[in-house]
C-alpha cells in the first residue's frame, strides 16, 4: 500500500476508536498516544524521459497496441478515456481527438502526434487488409474453383 493509503486507514481507525471511547463503548481509549505520521506530499512519481518512453514503446509487439499507446502517450489520454474511444472521435488528417465525457464528465478535443498518426494509419490499413483481403481472396478462390468445375 502507498504511504497515503496507510495514513488514510490509520486515521480512519483512530477516529473510529475515539468515537467508541467518547460514546462509552470502550472503557479506555486504545488510540491515545497513537501518532499518525504525515505523508510527504512533495515527492512525485518520477516522469520517464523521452528515451525511456521510446524504449518502453519499442517493447510493444502488437501493431494495434502500439498505435493505442502512442495515441495515449502523445495526447495525455487517461485509460478510461482510451477505453471509450470510437473511430468517429478520431480526425486523422487534423490529428485531433474528441474525448467524450472525460474527467469531470466534460468533452474536450486533444491533439496527437505525427508518430501516433503514422501508427494509426498503418494499423487501420493492416486491419482493413486482414478483414477485407481475406474475404476477397476467399470469394475469388471460391468463384474461380466454381468456374473450373463447370
More confident residue, 12 or 41: 12
pLDDT category at 133 given cuts 50, 70, 90 is low
pTM above 0.75?
A: no
More confident residue, 142 or 43: 43
**DSSP letters spanning 101-141:** S-GGG--EEEE--HHHHHHHHHHHHHHHIIIIIHHHHHHHH
The topology under which CATH files domain 50-132 is hpI Integrase; Chain A (1.10.443)
What is the rounded distance in angstroms from the CA atom of residue 131 to the CA atom of residue 129?
6
| 81-105 residue pLDDT tens | 888 888 889 999 999 999 988 778 8
Mean pLDDT of the chain: 82
Cell numbers representing residue 82 in the block: 482510451
Evaluate whether 130 touches 138 at the Cβ level (below 8 Å): no
Give the three-state DSSP class for 35: coil
Which pLDDT value is given to residue 25? 94
Amino acid at each position: 500500500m502507498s504511504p497515503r493509503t496507510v495514513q488514510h486507514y490509520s486515521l480512519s481507525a483512530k477516529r473510529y476508536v475515539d468515537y467508541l471511547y467518547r460514546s462509552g463503548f470502550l472503557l479506555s481509549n486504545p488510540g491515545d498516544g497513537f501518532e499518525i505520521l504525515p505523508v510527504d506530499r512533495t515527492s512525485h512519481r518520477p516522469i520517464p524521459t523521452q528515451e525511456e518512453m521510446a524504449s518502453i514503446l519499442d517493447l510493444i509487439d502488437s501493431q494495434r497496441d502500439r498505435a493505442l499507446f502512442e495515441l495515449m502517450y502523445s495526447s495525455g489520454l487517461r485509460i478510461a478515456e482510451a477505453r471509450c474511444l470510437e473511430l468517429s472521435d478520431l480526425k486523422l488528417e487534423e490529428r485531433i481527438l474528441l474525448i467524450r465525457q472525460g474527467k469531470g464528465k466534460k468533452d474536450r478535443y486533444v491533439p496527437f502526434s505525427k508518430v501516433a498518426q503514422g501508427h494509426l494509419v498503418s494499423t487501420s490499413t493492416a486491419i482493413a487488409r486482414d478483414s477485407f483481403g481475406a474475404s476477397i481472396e476467399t470469394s475469388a478462390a471460391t468463384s474461380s474453383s466454381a468456374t473450373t468445375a463447370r
